[in-house]
Structure 1
Amino acid sequence: MGISAMMTRIAAKSDLIEQMMTTLEVRDRFADLPAGGEVLRNAMLRCMSCGKPDACSVWLADHGSAEEAPDFCRNHDLFARLREHSQGCAD
């Protein structure tokens, strides 16, 4: 894979994870974590290694908002914990 193709892939995956975090309303939750930057970096790496970007794009197109990431999402459990934390803070 050439540099240009790699950069295009990184940009596309960055867009997907950004959309997913916005859809699930967890985007700002990383700042509340003790090692939020590292957690976000690891989430990004999981997204980068995912082989289902097309399924992710379709899922995101069908969901303006959601309470749970799709089962195939490699960050499903992380996003669920972030939503639980977010809801716990609202109580």
Structure 2
Amino acid sequence: MRVTGLIPARFLTLTSHLVLLISVLLAREENVLACLPVDYTEMEYRRRDGEFLGGLIAGVALIALEFIGFITGVSMFTGLASLVCIL
């Protein structure tokens, strides 16, 4: 069996994406404040925070789903599937 670089590259991209999402989640308040105008209301803050948190949770859930597919081998050894996931 010939070893290619797709499996390690896919694992590294999945892991780095998960780490980045968790880092952004931990710095959520600063990121939400950065996208608000200088004079914002509490309602605007809550709305943006909810949108931001929803997007982050969806991203973490989808990365977890992709990790499950990768670890179980469903798409680990398919070269085309690995390449698409890396891109």
**TM-score with structure 2 length normalisation?**
0.31
> Highest CA radius of gyration, 1 or 2?
2
Larger relative contact order (CA 8 Å, sep ≥ 6): 2
Structure whose residues are more often helix by fraction: 2
**TM-score with structure 1 length normalisation?**
0.30
